[in-house]
Chains A and B, each alone.
Chain A
């Protein structure tokens, strides 16, 4: 049985996860890194990608995260991501559809503001797809 530590996944809107887990793999800017119990204090920014969490029972849970940073201090890992979604809640078909919609939105946007907004969504969605394909 793996030793557990406290892990918190927070997005600006709410706290997604606060639990005792065995291992977390974080998509850091300078490469993925795993965190186990008693990890040294570290602060790292994160890339868009998949964050993997191994629970007490050995099962992996995956989250898509984008923008933010991870912090380990006094044995607690906190990941602060601008966007964090469980992978199980995104399906590829939905994503493809969403990307097509976003592309159309960007193409028929009437003013700069609308176009900017559509392009932002599009970029986000492409990030997700890329990250999922890698996984």
Chain B
């Protein structure tokens, strides 16, 4: 049975923890709003880009002179997985969910005899993957010093991926991140970056309504110019989605932790009061029986 002093100490420590989790929850809520705004502000660009590319892609579908970024290298032997996670923990299942999706994919690829290479964006993803797949990780990109993700950060990653592709270091590139559905729901998502995939069906349906474009320079050159840019744009979008998801996940995780701490404090307080009462009763009995003995 813990003594009264032990109980008092434990209550104090749980209270201190609760204060921290509560503060973290409020910080996450404030950051979430900002991250959500950033994700929303970036949406028009990515959507337009995709619409124009889808239009162009229809024209090039199945043609021999289609850019390599769209048609692929013709193999699918070497796969590159870009795993984007957070830099910090304490955000529920956020990091492990993304890592799990990527790990499952890597396992099935390895089982099928393919070569897998991994680039981690964010330290936590590497931490989660290193035990099993550490030898496959080419590099970890650290965004810890970056407070708000800027396009330049995504562009840097995009350029790196492109250089690797041009050097023939991989055939297929897939990006792993978490889509922000709501504060309580974030969905780990995989998206194939190279060869680029577009919703061409939609573009074709739209085509009848939209006038045919004049292209300057010609379609091929525009496509060749835009496809590499699109990689960076998609990565940027993924990073923003990730930032919003991370804060959402942290907010609900910390909300849970605060509630749990509250329950624990209630329980400990009851035990503490009971024990104090018992001690007082014992002392009284001792005094009374002592007085009676006289």
Contacts and interface: CB of A to CB of B under 8 A. Distances in A.
Interface of A: 8, 10-15, 28-30, 33, 40-45, 67-69, 71, 73-74, 78, 80, 82-83, 117, 120
Contacts of A42: 213-216
A41 B45 contact: no
A14 B42 contact: yes
A43 B216 contact: yes
Contacts of B46: 12
A44 B223 CA distance: 11
Given A10-B48, A12-B233, A13-B151, A117 B41 contact: no
A13 B41 contact: yes
B212 A41 contact: yes
B226 interface: yes
Contacts of A82: 151, 155, 229, 232
B210 A74 contact: yes
Nearest to B214: A42
A94 to B, nearest CB: 18
B45 A45 contact: no
Interface residues of B, number: 32
The winner among B48, B154, B155 for most chain A CB atoms within 10 A is B48
Interface of B: 38, 41-42, 44-46, 48-49, 52, 56, 150-152, 154-156, 210-217, 221-222, 225-226, 229, 232-233, 236
A103 B10 CA distance: 57
Contact of A117 (B42, B150, B156, B216): B156
B210 A11 contact: no
B42 A12 contact: yes
Contacts of A69: 52, 222, 225-226
Contacts of A78: 48
Pairs of residues from A and B, 9 with the lowest C-beta to C-beta distance, nearest first: A14-B41, A44-B216, A12-B151, A42-B214, A41-B211, A41-B213, A10-B45, A43-B213, A12-B45
